[in-house]
Amino acid sequence: MDFPVLRGVSYVLVHAPDMLVHMGTTQAVEREANPDSDYLKELSRHLRSYGECKAYPPNQAYIGNITPDELAKIPRPWHENPLVGANRLGGWGEIMPEDEFYALMKAVDSFDLVVLEEGFTAHVAGEIRDDSIWVEDDRERLGTGASASQIEELVGKGQALGLYVGEKLAGCVKAAHESDETLAAHVMAENLAAKASGTLAMRHLAARNGIDSSDIEYVIECSEEACGDMNQRGGGNFAKAIGETSGCINASGCDVRGFCAAPAHALVIAAGLVQSGIFKNVAVVGGGSTAKLGMNGRDHVRKGLPLLEDVLAGFAILVSANDGVSPAIRTDAVGRHKIGSGSSPEAVMTAIVVDPVQRIGLSLREVDKYSPEMQNPEITEPAGAGNVPTANLKLIAALAVKRGEIARGDLGAFVKRHGMPGFAPTQGHVPSGVPSLGYLCDEILAGRIRRAQIIGKGSLFLGRMTNLFDGISFIIESNPGKGEREDEKEAAAIAARVSEAQLRKIVADALRKVAQTLVQPRGGRYE
Amino acid sequence: MDLENQRRVKALAEKYGPENLVVVLGGAEAEASGLTAETVTAGDPTYAGPLAGVQLGLSVWHIVEDEIKAEVDPEVYDEQIGIMEMVLDIDAIKEEVSSIRKQYSIY
């Protein structure tokens, strides 16, 4: 059996301090309820500059300039140990400044909702590099901009949400309907940011991996936003919208939702589509979430930390038919939290992690690396949520203890050997397993590890439809080579030797034997 | 503490009386468990939710505390909590939650 493969990845970040202030829900809710609060007054003093954001070691790990192993060696707090000479571009993507991102939002806006000020437009047009990420159409769509007074009027009348650079209004996103709340300005801004960051990831996927976007046949978008109107709030389709702005002229697509677990669900679906032969190349893409910018800002400010949740994140992954080289997705080892699995941590981890490993005859020790939710602990620990990747690894290690695979005293060593430090921003769907795929693929290709398990988990209770937990996992491993395995090769060779006529004779003989058995008198033949 | 959960705890306390309510926490971290314990006793320390300035003084415990553990069938406890006992910093959680309880619980 040929398994589908991971042919390429991309990871992008967008430094978004002003979007944090104006669009992050923590700040927006606070502004609504308590406009003079100390938190809002303190906010600007805790924002990071683009340079600080770029040099932040976890961000450099996300775009592929340092490995998680190298990150682990940098002493914490990481925000006090910036990487000297850090690059904007990484092996898998880039860290884009906010002003250029506003231009990208404008470039991917199909309904003339993003309005940028003329001076800002001229400035940002000069910043845009001529590389494969920007296409000629983008410049045209950027246009020449509108006057500052026009933008002020739109924002002042509540018809648009401001796009700021510091205190200055650089542009706005207009509401797409007068009374439909699902097309309100803040929703359109959120959705256009998801579309633009998804587009950025898709363009890097093609550019960094030598992929022709027109070869992509299907796009699955897996962020946490909903686009639609009041008659179909989550109608979709981000996938096709992003495919359109990324040159995927031969693709269709759809959106898959599942809270933080969505990327893992999407990759399993993509693997299924490829293995079945329905499509040869399926891209999975997720854009960033403006709502989650500064989500734990209160805790970070209270503890005197910088606002570390100041980036939008995106990723894109190409799942393709077996090329004989790229790491394979073991579709026979997909783990899932079933509706009847139960909700205790042990039940959850057994369903998602242990069952699939056991199914293909492996022990937990034989999975070299586990990639659960990869949240950066520097963001979650001050907010009281602990070190998420390490907590997950401890649980897996505890299950290995319980199964008698390792001694209790080896729990710490298991966590260290099979885990990685978290480095992903807390952008909901982004941390869930997939940020490590780039690193893990490299490690597999270099022969340093053989296999890894990617684990996505989702907190479904947030939607108030069910209290059920969710999770799905899959195993990736080194490619055994193109074509069938030895036993299958042998079976195929035998099949090739048997002609159709011979096959008919075999079937006819078998049927005759069955018929004879049926007409024998009860027990007569063997008496 | 989640704003919706604050609202539900407040509503339950009003419906059944705070003296008839015991809150059992399941947080994985000492600090977060302490903040939740504080919210249902002394009020929401972040002043963001329905329990801001509301001192319910509820009896609050963590599932890993010995008194609660003793109330549960050992087999069920092992099935539901056993694995977490191996990985959590139980002592820190016990210390944090019991300290809040001693300070602010009325019932």
DSSP 8-class letter at A67: -
Taking the C-alpha atoms of residue A305 and residue A256, their distance in angstroms, rounded to an integer, is 35
Q: How many helices (H) and strands (E) does chain B have?
A: 6, 2
Is A490 within 8 Å of chain B by CB? no
Whether the CB-CB separation of A10 and A216 falls below 8 Å is answered with no
Do the Cβ atoms of A344 and B87 come within 8 Å? no
Do the Cβ atoms of B81 and A298 come within 8 Å? no
Candidate from A346, A384, A398 with C-beta closest to B31: A384
Whole-number percent of chain B with pLDDT over 70: 100
Q: How confident is the model at residue B46 (pLDDT cuts 50, 70, 90)?
A: confident
Q: How many domains does chain B contain in total? A: 1
H or E element: which one contains A496? helix A486-497
The type of residue at A328 is A
Is A31 within 8 Å of chain B by CB? no
Which of B39, B83, B84 is the best substitution to test chain A (most A C-beta atoms within 10 A)? B83
* Residue numbers in A near B35 (CB within 8 A): 384
Is A364 within 8 Å of chain B by CB? no
Return the residue of A nearest to B34 by Cα.
A384
Sequential pLDDT tens for chain A (527 residues): 699 999 999 999 999 999 999 999 999 999 999 999 999 999 999 999 999 999 999 999 999 999 999 999 999 999 999 999 999 999 999 999 999 999 999 999 999 999 999 999 999 998 887 677 998 889 899 999 999 999 999 999 999 999 999 999 999 999 999 999 999 999 999 999 999 999 999 999 999 999 999 999 999 999 999 999 999 999 999 999 999 999 999 999 999 999 999 999 999 999 999 999 999 999 999 999 999 999 999 999 999 999 999 999 999 999 999 999 999 999 999 999 999 998 888 899 999 999 999 999 999 999 999 999 999 999 999 998 889 999 999 999 999 999 999 999 999 999 999 999 999 999 999 998 999 999 999 999 999 999 999 999 999 988 999 999 999 999 999 999 876 555 555 555 555 555 555 666 666 677 766 666 555 444 333 32
Is A349 within 8 Å of chain B by CB? yes
Coil vs helix vs strand at A399 = helix
Q: Which of A33, A86, A32, A37 is nearest to A59 (CA)?
A: A86
Q: Are strands A95-96 and A5-15 parallel, antiparallel or unpaired?
A: parallel
Q: From the CA of A168, how many Å to the nearest CA of chain B? A: 29
Whether the CB-CB separation of A82 and A57 falls below 8 Å is answered with yes
Q: Where are the domains of chain A?
A: 5-477, 486-519
Q: From the CA of B17, how many Å to the nearest CA of chain A? A: 26
H or E element: which one contains A452? strand A451-458
Is B92 within 8 Å of chain A by CB? no
Contacts of A361 (CB under 8 A, 6+ apart): none
Taking the C-alpha atoms of residue A103 and residue A129, their distance in angstroms, rounded to an integer, is 12
Q: Chain-centre distance of CA A49, in angstroms?
A: 25
Is A391 within 8 Å of chain B by CB? yes
Return the residue of B nearest to A29 by Cα.
B48
Mean pLDDT over B89-106 rounds to 95
Q: Which fold has domain A5-477?
A: Peroxisomal Thiolase; Chain A, domain 1 (3.40.47)
Domain that holds residue B90: 3-104
Q: Which of A90, A153, A143 is nearest to A118 (CA)?
A: A143
Give me the helices (H) in A65-184, please. Answer: 68-73, 98-107, 118-127, 136-142, 148-156
pLDDT at B7: 95
Do the Cβ atoms of B32 and A394 come within 8 Å? no
Do the Cβ atoms of A398 and B32 come within 8 Å? no
Q: From the CA of B106, how many Å to the nearest CA of chain A? A: 25
Whether the CB-CB separation of A319 and A270 falls below 8 Å is answered with yes
